[in-house]
């Protein structure tokens, strides 16, 4: 009898362990400290609103701070795949950090859903999908706006890291096609506290406009430097600057700035026919109910869209394999490639085997800072 009871206890324990292993585990590496914290913290805020179950399955988020450090991001990714045995990785909110995680996720056969527009060599993104819009998609909106504004020459002032270099690489052919010439190119590090020399050089070249490629509150500093150096032309910012931090730090200096963004930031201003309007408003209402008026953020919207992805792919993948297995991880990837047209708060997504960016050229929305607020152009 004692032996029989022991066997029952072992069986119950095994069943409990099996049930625990069935939870869908998501490893999240985002920048909660360091220069990129203005992007990572809003994502964390949205992840706090995540449902505990999706498609009837418990979803466990394991959130780690990568401190805006590529080395730390890589260490987090390594922990996710070796210790936590996650089914998916989300991160990072910083391009350079996300890039450092990509090979690790790929080697482990685990989907990486990047929270930043990270680029990799052709054929290297089998397991990498992006939540943000590509720089080409957003650059298209910027260049079209520049054409409308009669811009013929620009200065480029961007980060020295992957985000800055990718923007320069991807927007250059778009500018060339539009007949707009880059006449000054300057760079700075995320940790720099001044860009006075760079601003002086660009101002001296007298371009019609300047494109600043920076993120969060860090985008305000170079903008202020251009204004302080007497630049009178138009100043453009990328979608990584589409946060309240730009106005909070930049104040009156950023008035009149043109900022490209996804639809989520200005949900209520979207025309009724815009496919993302209902989803974007749902994101904004829920986020601002939790965190207060005007707390919405481009990157919080990406975290919201991660939930949209999971709600669509989990029911399909769960029919093919169990969480915690290589087969399930592969099923998640395959389902993402074939999930078809899906409305995000940030636009319409349609990942395919040949395209892990997915957004259409109509995604980018041009905003202008007016009285400390974003207004659709």
At 22 the pLDDT is: 67
Q: What is the third-level CATH fold of 136-261?
A: Rossmann fold (3.40.50)
User: What pLDDT was estimated at residue 162?
Assistant: 86
- Show Cβ contacts of residue 291 under 8 Å, excluding neighbours closer than 6 positions: 45
Distance CA 367, CA 246 (A): 13
Would you give the DSSP letter of residue 73?
A: H
Is residue 322 over pLDDT 80? yes
Residue 377 burial (C-beta neighbours within 10 Å; 0-12, 13-18, 19+): middle
pLDDT at residue 356, as a whole number: 96
Model confidence over 200-219: pLDDT tens digits? Answer: 999 999 999 999 999 888 99
Give yes or no for residue 340 having a pLDDT over 80.
yes
CATH superfamily membership of 2-133+289-349: Response regulator (3.40.50.2300)
Q: Could you tell me the two tokens for 369? A: 């800072």
Tell me how far the alpha carbon of residue 90 is from its chain's centroid.
10
Mean pLDDT, residues 222-245 taken together:
95
Mean pLDDT across the stretch 237-245? Answer: 91
What does the alpha-carbon distance between residue 98 and residue 96 come to, in Å, rounded to a whole number? 6
- Between these two residues, 176 and 121, which has the higher pLDDT value? 176
Q: Return the residue matching tokens 């940030």.
A: 346
- Overall average pLDDT of the 355-364 stretch: 89
pTM beyond 0.85: no
pLDDT at 318: 97
Number of H helices, E strands in the chain: 12, 15
What are 143-162's pLDDT values in tens digits?
999 999 999 999 999 999 98
Given a contact cutoff of 8 angstroms between Cβ atoms, the answer to whether 239 and 298 are in contact is: yes
Residue located via tokens 């923007």: 167
Query: What residues contact residue 116 under an 8 Å CB cut-off, 6+ apart?
Result: 39, 92, 93, 94, 95, 97, 98, 130, 132, 163, 240
Closest CA to 115 of 247, 216, 221: 216
Residues of the chain with CATH 3.40.50.2300: 2-133+289-349, 136-261
Half-sphere exposure of 88 (CA within 13 A, CB side): 30
Predicted local confidence at residue 291, as pLDDT = 97
Q: Does the pLDDT value for residue 13 go beyond 90?
A: no
Residue 304 pLDDT: 98
For residue 91, what are the CA distances in angstroms to 102, 130, 264, 326? 10, 9, 19, 20
The pLDDT tens digits of the residues spanning 120-143 come to 887 889 999 999 999 999 999 999
β-strands 342-344, 347-349 pairing? antiparallel
- How far is residue 348's CA from residue 94's CA, in Å, rounded to a whole number? 22
Indicate if the pLDDT at residue 17 is higher than 60. no
């Amino acid at each position: 009898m004692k032996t029989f009871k022991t066997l029952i206890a072992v069986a119950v324990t095994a069943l409990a362990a099996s049930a625990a292993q069935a939870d869908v585990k998501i490893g999240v590496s985002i920048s909660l400290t360091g220069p990129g914290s203005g992007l990572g913290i809003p994502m964390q805020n949205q992840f706090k609103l995540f449902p505990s179950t999706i498609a009837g399955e418990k979803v466990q988020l394991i959130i780690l701070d990568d401190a805006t450090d590529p080395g730390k991001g890589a260490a987090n990714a390594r922990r996710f795949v070796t210790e936590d045995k996650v089914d998916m990785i989300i991160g990072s909110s910083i391009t350079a950090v996300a890039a450092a995680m990509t090979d690790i996720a790929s080697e482990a056969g685990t989907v990486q859903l990047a929270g930043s527009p990270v680029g990799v060599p052709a054929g290297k993104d089998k397991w990498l999908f992006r939540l943000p819009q590509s720089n080409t998609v957003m650059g298209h909106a910027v260049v079209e706006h520049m054409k409308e504004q009669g811009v013929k020459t620009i200065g480029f002032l961007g980060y020295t890291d992957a985000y800055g270099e990718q923007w320069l690489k991807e927007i250059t052919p778009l500018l060339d096609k539009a007949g707009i010439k880059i006449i000054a190119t300057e760079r700075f590090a995320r940790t720099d506290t001044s860009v006075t020399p760079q601003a002086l050089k660009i101002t001296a070249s007298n371009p019609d406009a300047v494109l600043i490629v920076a993120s969060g509150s860090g985008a305000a500093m170079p903008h202020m430097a251009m204004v302080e150096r007497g630049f009178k032309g138009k100043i453009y910012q990328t979608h990584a600057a589409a946060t309240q931090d730009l106005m909070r730090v930049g104040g009156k200096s950023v008035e009149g700035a043109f900022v490209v963004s996804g639809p989520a930031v200005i949900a209520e201003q979207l025309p009724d026919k815009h496919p993302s309007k209902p989803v974007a408003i749902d994101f904004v209402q829920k986020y601002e109910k939790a965190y207060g008026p005007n707390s919405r953020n481009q990157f919080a919207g990406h975290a919201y869209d991660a939930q949209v992805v999971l709600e669509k792919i989990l029911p399909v993948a769960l029919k093919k394999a169990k969480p915690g297995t290589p087969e399930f991880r592969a099923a998640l990837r395959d389902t993402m490639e074939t999930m078809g047209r899906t409305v995000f708060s940030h636009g319409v997504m349609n990942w395919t085997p040949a395209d892990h960016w997915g957004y259409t050229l109509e995604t980018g929305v041009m905003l202008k800072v007016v009285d400390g607020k974003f207004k659709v152009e």
